[in-house]
């Protein structure tokens, strides 16, 4: 594991978790693979699309089997691939982070918690980096300048505390210290994050831990998104039907290859 520089917090503010990151959070997509997969399944079923036609729309970039894996919440995708998929499926995407009112939630999807892969595509939430990423995203989403500390939602602090195994008061203390003493790091993080691809209906991924995924959800979606439901909140019968269809098509494609 590579050594990484750590923020120096005041005496008494100690990390509660060991560092378990495989790469910097800067390289982590802003789109949760699980939420993206759920959103694509719902959109495909609601618009009577089929996987073969969708694969053709990607001009050979994705096979039917690859689309099945993506709809199942596979590995994170690059911003280029996210843009290609959003065009193929007709899902609204934004090429950069725009200001939105958000709330922080933690997804505890059974599919993610049961994933046996040894952290192959999951980023452990190192406390320092997770808080820098969170506060950088909040500044971008509020179109705020890194100056004085921003007021933060109490509910967000409780979610962060649960994910990082800290008390809400300590999370507040750390975030206040970051906003006063590490503005250069927050500013650099803002520059990197605001240029990333976002699919508003899937929320914005802050990070992933063994407890779940931290997601910043918009309070309201842009009208052009054409989506009213949060990803994963659709008709479970529609989702189950799409998943059965995906399995059938993938098996057929494998046998025909």
Length of the chain (residues): 257
Residue 48 located in a structural domain: yes
Residue 75 located in a structural domain: yes
Confidence of residue 29 (pLDDT cuts 50, 70, 90): confident
pLDDT digits 0-9 by tens, 73-90: 988 899 999 999 999 999
Residue 92 located in a structural domain: yes
pLDDT digits 0-9 by tens, 87-112: 999 999 998 888 888 999 998 855 44
CA distance 102 to 216: 6
Instruction: Say yes or no to pLDDT of 179 above 60.
Output: yes
pLDDT digits 0-9 by tens, 110-126: 544 444 443 433 445 57
Task: Answer positive or negative: Cα dihedral of 87, 91, 92, 95.
Answer: negative
Closest alpha carbon to 97 in 124, 70, 79: 79
Indicate the SS3 state at residue 118.
coil
Rounded to 5°, the CA angle 220-76-201 comes to 10
Residue 17 located in a structural domain: no
Average pLDDT, integer, range 225-247: 45
CA distance 8 to 234: 44
Residue 125 located in a structural domain: yes
Query: Contact 104/205 with Cβ under 8 angstroms?
Result: no
Phi, psi of 162 (to 5 degrees): -65, -40
**Model pLDDT, residue 53:** 95
Two tokens, residue 196: 């990333």
CA distance 130 to 64: 35
Residue 12 located in a structural domain: no
CA distance 75 to 214: 17
Number of domain units in the chain: 1
Rounded to 5°, the CA angle 185-106-6 comes to 25
Range of the domain at 173: 25-256
Residue 2 located in a structural domain: no
Query: Contact 225/94 with Cβ under 8 angstroms?
Result: no
Q: Encode burial over 118-139: b for 16+ CB neighbours within 10 A, e otherwise.
A: eeeebbbbbbbbbbbbbbbbbb
Query: Contact 173/13 with Cβ under 8 angstroms?
Result: yes
DSSP, residue by residue, 7-75: --PPTT---SS----SS-GGGS-SS-HHHHHHHHHHHHHHTT--HHHHHHHTTTSS-HHHHHHHHTT-S
pLDDT digits 0-9 by tens, 156-174: 999 999 888 889 999 999 9
């Amino acid at each position: 594991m590579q050594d990484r520089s750590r923020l120096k917090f005041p005496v008494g503010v100690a990390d509660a978790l060991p560092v378990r990151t495989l790469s910097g959070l800067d390289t982590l997509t802003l789109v949760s693979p699980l939420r993206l997969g759920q959103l694509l399944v719902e959109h495909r079923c609601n618009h009577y699309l089929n996987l073969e036609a969708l694969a053709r729309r990607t001009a050979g970039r994705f096979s039917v089997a690859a689309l099945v894996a993506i709809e199942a919440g596979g590995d994170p995708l690059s911003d280029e691939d996210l843009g290609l998929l959003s065009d193929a499926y007709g899902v609204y995407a934004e090429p950069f982070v725009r200001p939105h009112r958000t709330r922080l939630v933690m997804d505890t999807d059974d599919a993610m918690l049961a994933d046996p892969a040894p952290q192959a595509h999951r980023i452990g939430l190192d406390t320092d980096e997770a808080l820098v990423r969170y506060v950088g995203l909040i500044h971008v989403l509020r179109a705020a300048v890194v100056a004085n500390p921003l007021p933060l939602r109490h509910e967000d602090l409780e979610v962060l505390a649960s994910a990082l195994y800290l008390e809400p008061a300590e999370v507040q203390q750390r975030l206040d210290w970051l906003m006063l003493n590490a503005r250069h790091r927050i500013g650099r993080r803002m520059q990197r994050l605001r240029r990333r691809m976002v699919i508003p209906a899937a929320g914005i991924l802050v990070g992933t831990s063994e407890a779940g995924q931290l997601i910043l959800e918009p309070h309201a979606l842009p009208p052009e998104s054409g989506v009213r439901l949060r990803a994963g909140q659709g008709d479970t019968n529609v989702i189950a039907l799409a998943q059965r269809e995906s399995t059938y098509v993938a098996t057929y494609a494998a046998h025909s290859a």
